[in-house]
Amino acid sequence: MSAFLHAEGLCFSYVNDAEDPPVKTEVLHGIDLDINKGEFVAILGHNGSGKSTLAKCFNAINLPESGKVTVDGMDTADAANLLPIRQRVGMVFQNPDNQIVATIVEEDVAFALENMGVPPAEIRRRVDEALKTVDMYEYRMHAPHKLSGGQKQRVAIAGIIAMQPDCILLDEPTAMLDPKGRAEVMKTIKMLNRDQGVTIVLITHYMEEAAQADRIVVIDEGEIVLDNVPKKVFSQVSTMKNLGLDVPQVTELIWELKQEGYDLSTEIITEDECVEALAKLLG
């Protein structure tokens, strides 16, 4: 079975035409990556590593300089595939205020559907269903600017859900939220993946969020350096620190204790696992 998202030898550069001569900055260098339908993949990397650029390649916002990117078998470089790709792959950005375009919540969720020419009765059904999915139905007649950050982000996600995509790319969707808002958004993301089979690609700086994914891909200087399940990635504490990245706090605690000679597993990534391991250690 071919991967739903496929990158092969992907190279991408940004060109600054304002300079004379134009300045070219290479960002991605020969990326090979497959993401299967229904997976929940977290992408990690320090600022400027290329993770957001990669996500935009899977939504055909960025087109390969060389190499190939396909979505459900469709080549992103073929202009005829642009609309079907965008219908299959939705994207949620860091700042929900940049995605909200209407003055009423339900009108905002309906905006893309109206542009797609979806019949009114079907728009009504999809909007209601999407808002219920993210637990925002009771706010459907509210003004978006009066909502909390977490609520705004859930409205932005509802707008994508209403388009019924197979995959949602989320570019640091919780970066501007407080802990409560982050928890709300992560609950929604996991529910979409677990209950509706939506493929999730999450870019995040929060290691506890990445630990909830099925798989973690770490990018550094435009290349993939780690690709494995969370336990295997986060057990490489020294490697992660050398890449300028953190690990979950409980993983670092266990790592520090192990450095002091305590016999503990390096694959502990949740608080419950940590409590169990320490209780066993203390006898």
Q: Return d(Cα 92, Cα 180) in angstroms, integer.
A: 19
Q: Mean pLDDT, to the nearest integer, of 204-218?
A: 95
3-state SS, 80-101, equals: HHHHHHHHHEEEECCCHHHCCC
The confidence band for 218, taking pLDDT boundaries of 50, 70 and 90, is very high
Tell me: the pLDDT tens digits for 87-106? 899 999 888 888 888 999 99
**Alpha carbon separation from 224 to 49, 58, 70, 80, 263 (Å, rounded):** 10, 16, 18, 30, 31
Cβ atoms of 42 and 213 within 8 Å: the answer is yes
Q: Mean pLDDT, to the nearest integer, of 167-173?
A: 94
Instruction: Give the CA angle between residues 105, 157, 159 to the nearest 5°.
Output: 50
- Structural domains of the chain, ranges and CATH numbers in brackets: 5-230 (3.40.50.300)
Tell me: the pLDDT tens digits for 128-138? 999 999 999 99
Q: Return d(Cα 85, Cα 104) in angstroms, integer.
A: 28
pTM of the model: 0.91
